[in-house]
């Protein structure tokens, strides 16, 4: 007897208004999970963009309106992140790390945000520098 498939929660709609690193990264993570079972690249892109409204929807229509075919899902995600991630280069990310403070966040929330930004910098990160700014 085949096991029943799990039902996944639908990702939230992405408007393009909140382009914080945490929001963009979270949406990408959730949409990747949501379309993971599909092997049809255009279907993955179409499904992902069905969760776009407002600015994000207009960006997609303008970028791909005259395209003969949709990009692969990974190409789409790269273009999406390049457009909607405020801190899309290492220098900006370093400045983000340097100016972060916990404020009223819990330690867990602050740590998650810090790790998210740090992961976007990539493998060239000096961990001594990073610990100094945590």
For the segment 2-25, what is each residue's pLDDT rounded down to a tens digit? 555 677 889 999 999 988 777 888
Q: Are 79 and 35 in a shared domain?
A: yes
Place of tokens 């910098």: 121
pLDDT of residue 124: 62
Domain count, the chain: 2
- 8 A C-beta contact, residue 60 and residue 31: no
Residues of the chain with pLDDT > 70: what percent? 89
Residue 5 lies in a domain: no
Domain containing 128: what range? 90-133
**68, two tokens:** 């003969």
Residue 40 lies in a domain: yes
Q: Are 47 and 99 in a shared domain?
A: no
Q: Are 103 and 54 in a shared domain?
A: no
For the chain, the average pLDDT equals 85
Q: Are 49 and 70 in a shared domain?
A: yes
């Amino acid at each position: 007897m085949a096991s029943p498939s799990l039902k996944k929660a639908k990702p939230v709609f992405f408007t393009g208004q909140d382009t914080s690193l945490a929001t963009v990264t979270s949406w990408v993570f959730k949409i990747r999970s949501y379309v993971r079972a599909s092997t049809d690249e255009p279907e993955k892109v179409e499904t992902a963009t069905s969760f776009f409204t407002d600015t994000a929807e207009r960006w997609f229509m303008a970028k791909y309106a005259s395209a003969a075919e949709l990009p692969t899902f990974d190409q789409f995600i790269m273009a999406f992140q390049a457009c909607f991630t405020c801190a899309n280069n290492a220098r900006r990310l370093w400045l983000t790390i340097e100016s972060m403070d916990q404020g009223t966040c819990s330690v867990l929330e602050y740590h998650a945000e810090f790790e998210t930004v740090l992961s976007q910098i990539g493998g060239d990160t000096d961990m001594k520098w990073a610990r100094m700014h945590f």
